[in-house]
Homo-oligomer: A and B are copies of this chain.
C-alpha cells in the first residue's frame, strides 16, 4: 500500500482486516518494520482518538513519531497557485508538504472541510496537493470527505463481534446535532460498507431525513430510506452519526422528531449493537441509556482504531522497504 486515503487504496480488504486482528493478538511482533522509520502526524484540526491511536500504532511498530499541530505550532498555508502571497498565508503547501516529506518516511494528515464551497471540499484540493508535493506515502487522519481509519476500525469491530449466522444487517442512521458537521465519517463508513456488501460480508442500509442524502458516489448499492423504523427493523448493527446536508451544502435542515436513538427504538431490531465514531453528544445525538447499556460498542470500537492504524502502517512500511 503506498497511500491510505479511501477504501480504494486497499487492494484486499479481507487481508487488511486479518492484519488488524492479528496485530491485536500480537501487537509488538513487527517492530523491525518500523526501525529508524519516522511518521509525521500533521493536524490542521483538533484530534483525540486519531492522534493517540495512530501514534500508539506507530510506536507498536517500532517507529518514531513526530506530532505537528500545524494550526497551532505553525502557520497558515496557501493552496492556490498563481497568487501573490501578500495576505495572511505564510507558506505555500508546495513547499510545506515537500519539506515535511524530507524528514518523514510516512505522513499522516488531518484537514477538515470548510463546509462553504461544496466543490472545493469534494475536490479534496488540500489533501491532493499535500500528497502530490510531499513525496512520501500519506495516511488520511480525516480529510474533507473521508475518514478511512475510522471506517476500517468500524469494519474490524463488526467483523470481530458478529457471531450470527448469515450476513449482518448494518444501518447507518442519521442523528440530530446543533452544529453543522462534515459528511466525512458517514461518506467513508458508507463507502466501506458498500465495499463489504459487494464482497458478501454484510447488508447495508442508510436512513436519513429528507435533504440529508449523501453524495451518491459514496453509496453504491446501499439501501437508502427516509424511514428510520423501517431501516432499524431486524438490524444487527446501528451506526449513529450526524452530518450536515450535502444537497444544501453544509446546512442544518429542519427534520422530523424521533431521529435520536434510544432503547425504545432498539425494540424492532435484532438486539442491535450500537456504534458511533465519537465524540458523541449525549442525549442529543444518542441517548445515555444506550451509551451506558449493553448494546453499546463505542469504546470497543474506539479501541479498534489502534489496530486499524497499525494494520495500515504495517502495509505501508512493508511497501517502503
Residues of A within 8 A of B (CB): 27-28, 36, 38, 40, 43, 46-49, 51-53, 55-56, 59-60, 64, 66, 68-70, 72-75, 78, 81-86, 90-92, 94-96, 98-100, 102-104, 178, 278-284, 288, 291-292, 298-299, 302-303, 305-306
Contacts and interface: CB of A to CB of B under 8 A. Distances in A.
The number of times this chain is found in the oligomer is 3
Contacts of A82: 283, 288
A297 to B, nearest CB: 12
Given A36-B28, A283-B85, A291-B94, A49 B99 contact: yes
B284 A96 contact: no
15 contacts: A28-B36, A46-B74, A48-B73, A48-B74, A48-B96, A48-B99, A51-B68, A52-B99, A82-B288, A83-B283, A91-B281, A95-B279, A95-B280, A95-B302, A103-B303
Contacts of A99: 48-49, 52, 278, 299, 302-303
Contacts of A278: 91, 95, 99
Contacts of A281: 85-86, 90-91
Contact of A284 (B47, B49, B84): B84
A55 B48 CA distance: 19
A78 B279 CA distance: 11
A320 to B, nearest CB: 15
A292 B51 CA distance: 33
